[in-house]
Amino acid sequence: MSAGGQVAEVLPGSPAGLVARFQGERTASGPPTVGQANMIRCVLTDPPEHMNYRFVLNVPPGRTLGDVVTAAELLVSRHESLRTTFRDDLQHVAGEGELVIEVHESRGSADLADEVAARLQAVRFDPAGELPVRMAVTVNDGVPEHVVLIVTHTTVDAVGLGLMRAELGRLLLGEVPAPVTAPQPLDVAWAERNPASLKRAQAALTYWRTNLERIPRSTFTASVDDGDNDWLLPRLRVRSTRAARALGRIGTRTGVSRSAAVLAAYTLIAGLRAGQRTAVALAISANRFRPELREYVGPLAQDALVPIDLDEPTFDGVLRRARAATLAAYQNSRFDSDALVQIMEEVQRSRGVFFARDIVFNDMSVPGPGRRTGRIEEDGQDVRSHWLPDATMPTRTSVWVRTLEGEVDFTLWADPRCLPREDAEALGEGIARLLIEAAERDVPISEVSALTGVVPLERGPGWVTVDACWVHLAEVERLVRDAVGERPFRVTFEDGRLVCHLAGPVTPQEIHTACVGKLSGRMAAMTPHHYVVCDGAPASPDGWAALPVLDEGTGR
pLDDT single digits (tens) 54-78 = 999 999 999 999 999 999 999 999 9
pLDDT at position 227, please? 67
Q: Averaged over 263-287, what is the pLDDT?
A: 94
Q: Averaged over 403-423, what is the pLDDT?
A: 95
pLDDT at position 377, please? 56
Q: Averaged over 454-479, what is the pLDDT?
A: 94
CA angle 172–175–176, rounded 5-degree value: 125
The more confidently predicted of residues 210 and 372 is 210
- Are 245 and 408 within 8 A, CB to CB? no
Angle between helix 508-517 and helix 337-351 axes, rounded to 10 deg = 120
- Are 186 and 32 within 8 A, CB to CB? no
What does 281-332 look like in DSSP terms, one character per residue?
EEEEE----SGGGTT--S---EEEEEEEE---SBHHHHHHHHHHHHHHHHHT
- Are 279 and 270 within 8 A, CB to CB? yes
pLDDT at position 159, please? 87
pLDDT band at 46 (very low <50, low <70, confident <90, very high): confident
pLDDT at position 13, please? 42
Domain boundaries, the chain: 8-184, 194-219+231-452, 463-553
Residue 498, pLDDT > 60, answer: yes
pLDDT band at 556 (very low <50, low <70, confident <90, very high): confident
pLDDT at position 110, please? 82
Q: Averaged over 318-346, what is the pLDDT?
A: 95
Pick from 218, 332, 320: nearest CA to 260: 320
The three-class DSSP label of residue 501 is: strand
pLDDT band at 475 (very low <50, low <70, confident <90, very high): very high
pLDDT at position 367, please? 63
Residue 366, pLDDT > 80, answer: no
pLDDT at position 12, please? 39
- What lies within 8 Å, CB to CB, of 345 at 6+ separation is none
Q: Averaged over 302-330, what is the pLDDT?
A: 96
Q: How far apart are CA 514 and CA 126, in angstroms?
A: 34
pLDDT at position 368, please? 54
Residue 168: in which H helix or E strand, if any?
helix 158-172
Q: Averaged over 400-405, what is the pLDDT?
A: 95
pLDDT at position 453, please? 95
Q: How far apart are CA 116 and CA 102, in angstroms?
A: 9
Residue 487, pLDDT > 50, answer: yes
pLDDT at position 378, please? 56
- Phi, psi of 281, rounded to the nearest 5 degrees: -110, 145
pLDDT band at 109 (very low <50, low <70, confident <90, very high): confident
For the chain, give the number of residues. 556
Q: Is 534 exposed, middle or buried (0-12, 13-18, 19+ CB in 10 A)?
A: buried
Identify the weakest region by mean pLDDT among 11-15, 166-170, 231-235: 11-15
Q: Averaged over 481-501, what is the pLDDT?
A: 95
- What lies within 8 Å, CB to CB, of 166 at 6+ separation is none
Q: How far apart are CA 474 and CA 459, in angstroms?
A: 13
Q: Averaged over 121-148, what is the pLDDT?
A: 95
CA-CA distances (angstroms) from residue 72 to 4, 138, 177, 257, 334?
11, 15, 13, 37, 31
pLDDT at position 369, please? 43
pLDDT at position 375, please? 52
Q: Averaged over 535-551, what is the pLDDT?
A: 93
Q: How many CB atoms lie within 10 A of CB 328?
A: 16
The model scores a pTM over 0.85 = yes
- What lies within 8 Å, CB to CB, of 95 at 6+ separation is 23, 24, 25, 26, 27, 28
Residue 376, pLDDT > 80, answer: no
pLDDT at position 158, please? 86
Matching fold, domains 8-184 and 194-219+231-452: yes
Share of residues in the chain with pLDDT > 90 (%): 80
State the architecture of 194-219+231-452 in CATH terms: 2-Layer Sandwich (3.30)
Q: Is 279 exposed, middle or buried (0-12, 13-18, 19+ CB in 10 A)?
A: buried
The CATH code of the domain at 8-184 is 3.30.559.10
Residue 292, pLDDT > 90, answer: no
pLDDT at position 6, please? 39
Does the domain at 463-553 match CATH 3.30.300.30? Answer given as yes
